A and B are shown apart, each in its own frame.
Chain A
Amino acid sequence: MELLQEIFSLYAQRSDWFLELLASHMALALSAIAMSGTLGLLLGVLISELPRLAPPVMGVCNVLYTVPAISLLGILIPFTGIGDKTAVIALTIYGVMPMVRNTYVGLTSLDPDILEAARGMGSTRVQLLLRVKLPMAAGVILAGLRNTVVMTISVAGIASFVGAGGLGVAIYRGITIYNPAMTAAGSVLIALLAFLCDLALGALERYFKKRGSP
């Protein structure tokens, strides 16, 4: 309880600072999500259209996914220096996997009868993809995006270790000046942000899943 009180008084005293950190955290996460979302979607589409590429691409994504976030950041420093750029690159690499996997699974597990009808009626390959496959797989793809979003928001909390902004700054400072309330204050905001995004995307996902199923 005492900790909770301390957290709230911190928010009250330093509201500008926390808002600033929250904004930069969202900016950081959003840039990474935009990149991993786009890249993951394109890769997922590519390997569903060219199944021969699926095992190697999925393999690489899986391996990258198992590298701990903190080591990925460390590995990148010699190449991209410190700061937001390195953080965004690491978060992008990290967030690609769920998107690729869900896009691939979504596009390759569609009802074959519907695809047969669509082909038999004279859809081109692009029309089949854009008008039939992607809309039908939208729910599963959104589930992947949701995964990526939540993970990116929470992993972005350690981006301050490479000198990037975001709520990780509060966490890191709390640790170095031994102020647990400050660390907790940053963490709570991250958790809250992730939770809200999860709720919103969950609702969207349910809508599209319902829409895409017979």
Chain B
Amino acid sequence: MAEPIIRFEGVSKSFGEQVVLRDLSLDVAPGEFLTIIGRSGCGKTTALRLVNGLLSPDAGRVLVQGKDVAQTDPVALRRGIGYAIQSVGLFPHLTVEKNIAYVPSISGLEGWKGKERREKAEALLRRVGLEPELAGRYPRSLSGGQRQRVGIARALAAGPEILLMDEPFGAVDEITRGQLQDELLCLHQASGITVLFVTHDIGEALKLGTRTLVLEAGEVQQYAPPSEILSGPATPFVEELVCRSRQFQARA
């Protein structure tokens, strides 16, 4: 395995008495599409928020590109990591164009003003399968699927090497979700970006992931390519999980 781009080293995290992650160790190779699956409340979001420093571990370390997150300037770290969440969190007072340009703008990146900004926003809209004409609209006038796509465009704007996605397709209808999944796969293949994708849908996890991490009660049940998870579930929990989803096609 190449030098991992993200590494969890014996990470534990509790909220009060409640232990959410227990001694989690994990290496993610560059370009990997890691899907993280587990039931609601098992610590998936917590794991993601440890990567961009929104949370810090009680024990252990999280390394991003070889550097301990705890020793890194969180603002600079986050600007280099795309972040897309289920509720999207688009800024209602900004146009789609300005939403997309948010990270470049707060980072003071060159070439994100006036006409250039419009052109770059439009190019990103095309990349996520949207009409460039949407650039001037406000988020409230978009459909749920369109908002998700704008959220992904916004996460990609500053050209991050890592993309964190927290149940990004949880709130859209089945058909739109299928389209979004296919587009995300294309995007991943074209860009080689490393993706950490949280979901509670095993079908989605197996379809999208080059590797899948199954979490339960804060512990790793299995960490393997989807085909292995299907063919050799490591624990009864994984067995039961995949049992219901044998009909889904594995990606790798």
Contacts and interface: CB of A to CB of B under 8 A. Distances in A.
A138 B139 CA distance: 18
A127 B75 CA distance: 11
A128 to B, nearest CB: 9
A212 B102 CA distance: 16
A71 B235 CA distance: 76
Contacts, number: 75
Contact of B52 (A114, A120, A132): A120
Interface stretch (B34-42, B56-64, B83-91, B236-244): B83-91
A78 interface: no
A121 B93 contact: no
Interface string B124-139: 0000000000000011
Interface of B: 49, 52, 54, 74-80, 83, 85, 87-93, 102-103, 106-107, 138-140, 151, 154-155, 164
B117 to A, nearest CB: 15
A20 interface: no
Contacts of A214: 90, 92, 139-140
B83 A114 contact: no
A16 interface: no
B93 A118 contact: no
B91 A122 contact: no
A206 interface: no
A124 interface: yes
A135 B76 CA distance: 24
Contacts of B151: 117
Chain A interface mostly:
helix
Would you list the 6 A-B pairs with minimal beta carbon distance, nearest first?
A117-B89, A122-B78, A122-B79, A120-B83, A113-B87, A114-B89
A113 B92 contact: no
Contact of B106 (A113, A115, A122, A136): A122
A133 B75 CA distance: 18
**Chain A interface size, under 10 / 10 to 19 / 20 to 34 / 35 or more:** 20 to 34
Nearest to A139: B93
A116 B106 contact: no
B76 A122 contact: yes
Interface string A100-119: 00000000000101111111
B164 to A, nearest CB: 8
Contacts of B93: 135-136, 138, 211-212
A131 B88 CA distance: 17
B236 to A, nearest CB: 35
Contacts of B139: 214
A113 B89 contact: yes
A213 interface: yes
A123 interface: yes
Nearest to B93: A135
B87 to A, nearest CB: 4
A213 B78 contact: no
Given A136-B91, A211-B93, A213-B92, A116 B85 contact: yes
Interface in A117-166: 117-124, 127, 131-132, 135-136, 138
B154 to A, nearest CB: 8
Contacts of B155: 121
A121 B92 contact: no
